[in-house]
């Protein structure tokens, strides 16, 4: 049961950079009846303007993958340019709720809240099989995390999670602090979470993305701050 629940932590990885990550949950049917499959409402409302503002700060261009791209590739990156910017919770939530790329494991109903005490909250729901595919696409090669995901790959439907803590990085080295992690209605004891494996996986993810270099990532004054290099072009396969 512990291994089943611990999978929820993977989601934190994706939150750290543009998005965040987490994972595990309740069997479909039960969750629908009890409402467990719905992300917790954090009270953050995002608009298309917030998404455009985030994209402008990142200076990114998004384009569809060329027609001759291999079918097992859902996104790619090219070029690099410096970015030094701060992002609001509305901008981050707008990014999290965007579901226009193929294989996105998240429900599009999630929210990210940045608190005055420099903590961040993330509430979302995801599908297990699509998260595993995304882990592979991002180049994460971590046996302990992949083994956990494989054990629960049979779960269908949206699985909710909630995370509160602090995430920081310096020179592509991540420091993940977890205060609260819930999968469905279950709170996971912090001492049962393999934080070092998550931090190593985050490092692998950053290193696998061409053009991405995280010199500094921090949370302060109600915003998420990023300084480093960011890809010029993000290629993606459109959602079906």
Whether 179 has a pLDDT exceeding 70, the answer reads yes
Whether 216 has a pLDDT exceeding 90, the answer reads yes
Dihedral sign, CA of 219, 44, 54, 78? positive
Pairing of strands 111-114, 233-236: unpaired
Query: Is this prediction's pTM over 0.85?
Result: no
Looking at 59-73, 94-108, 138-152, 175-189, which range is the least confident one? 138-152
Residue 3: the pLDDT is: 41
What DSSP state is assigned to residue 192? G
Cα separation, 14 vs 134, whole angstroms: 10
Whether 186 has a pLDDT exceeding 60, the answer reads yes
User: If pLDDT is split at 50, 70 and 90, which confidence band does 14 have?
Assistant: very low
Cα separation, 77 vs 166, whole angstroms: 28
Whether 152 has a pLDDT exceeding 90, the answer reads no
Exposed, middle or buried: residue 13 (CB in 10 Å: 0-12, 13-18, 19+)? Answer: buried
Looking at 56-65, 167-176, 202-211, which range is the least confident one? 202-211
User: Do 160 and 36 meet the contact criterion of CB atoms below 8 Å apart?
Assistant: yes
Whether 25 has a pLDDT exceeding 50, the answer reads no
Cα separation, 186 vs 146, whole angstroms: 21
Residue 135, helix vs strand vs coil: helix
Whether 4 has a pLDDT exceeding 80, the answer reads no
Paired tokens of 129: 């099989």
Residue 200: the pLDDT is: 81
Rounded to 10 degrees, the C-alpha dihedral 74/9/224/99 comes to 30
Highest-scoring range by mean pLDDT, 18-27, 57-66, 79-88 = 79-88
CA distances from 195 to 52, 86, 177, 202 (A): 33, 26, 8, 11
Whether 205 has a pLDDT exceeding 90, the answer reads no
Residue 172: the pLDDT is: 86
CA distances from 150 to 82, 131, 147, 228 (A): 37, 11, 5, 34
Between 17 and 162, whose confidence is greater?
162
Rounded to 10 degrees, the C-alpha dihedral 233/234/235/240 comes to -140
User: How much of the chain exceeds pLDDT 70, in percent?
Assistant: 73
Residue 219: the pLDDT is: 94
CA distances from 9 to 44, 116, 165, 224, 233 (A): 22, 23, 12, 20, 29
Helix, strand and coil content of the chain, in percent to the nearest 5, comes to 30, 30, 40
Whether 31 has a pLDDT exceeding 60, the answer reads no
Whether 131 has a pLDDT exceeding 90, the answer reads no
User: Do 145 and 132 meet the contact criterion of CB atoms below 8 Å apart?
Assistant: no
User: If pLDDT is split at 50, 70 and 90, which confidence band does 19 have?
Assistant: very low
H/E stretch holding 78 reads strand 75-78
Rounded to the nearest integer, the mean pLDDT of the chain is: 77
User: Do 126 and 161 meet the contact criterion of CB atoms below 8 Å apart?
Assistant: yes
Residue 146: the pLDDT is: 60
């Amino acid at each position: 049961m512990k291994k089943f629940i611990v999978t929820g932590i993977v989601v934190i990885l994706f939150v750290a950079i543009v998005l965040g990550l987490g994972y595990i949950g309740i069997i479909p049917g039960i969750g629908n009846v009890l409402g467990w499959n719905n992300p917790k409402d954090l009270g953050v409302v995002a608009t298309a303007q917030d998404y455009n503002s985030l994209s402008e700060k990142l200076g990114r261009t998004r384009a569809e993958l060329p027609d001759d791209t291999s079918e097992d590739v859902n996104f790619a990156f090219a070029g690099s340019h410096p970015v030094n910017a701060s992002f609001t919770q509305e901008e981050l939530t707008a990014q999290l709720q965007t579901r226009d790329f193929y294989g996105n494991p998240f429900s599009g109903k999630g929210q990210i809240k940045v608190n005055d005490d420099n903590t961040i909250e993330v509430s979302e729901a995801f599908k297990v099989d699509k998260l595993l595919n995304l882990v592979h696409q991002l180049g994460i090669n971590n046996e302990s995390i992949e083994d956990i995901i494989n054990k629960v790959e049979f779960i269908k439907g949206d699985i909710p999670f909630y995370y509160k803590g602090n995430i920081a990085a310096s020179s592509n080295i991540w420091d993940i602090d977890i205060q609260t992690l819930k999968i469905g209605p279950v709170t996971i004891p912090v001492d049962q979470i393999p934080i070092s494996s998550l931090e190593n996986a985050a490092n692998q993810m950053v290193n696998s993305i061409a053009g991405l270099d995280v010199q500094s990532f921090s949370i302060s004054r109600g915003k998420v701050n990023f300084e480093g290099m960011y890809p010029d072009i993000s290629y993606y396969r459109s959602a079906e």
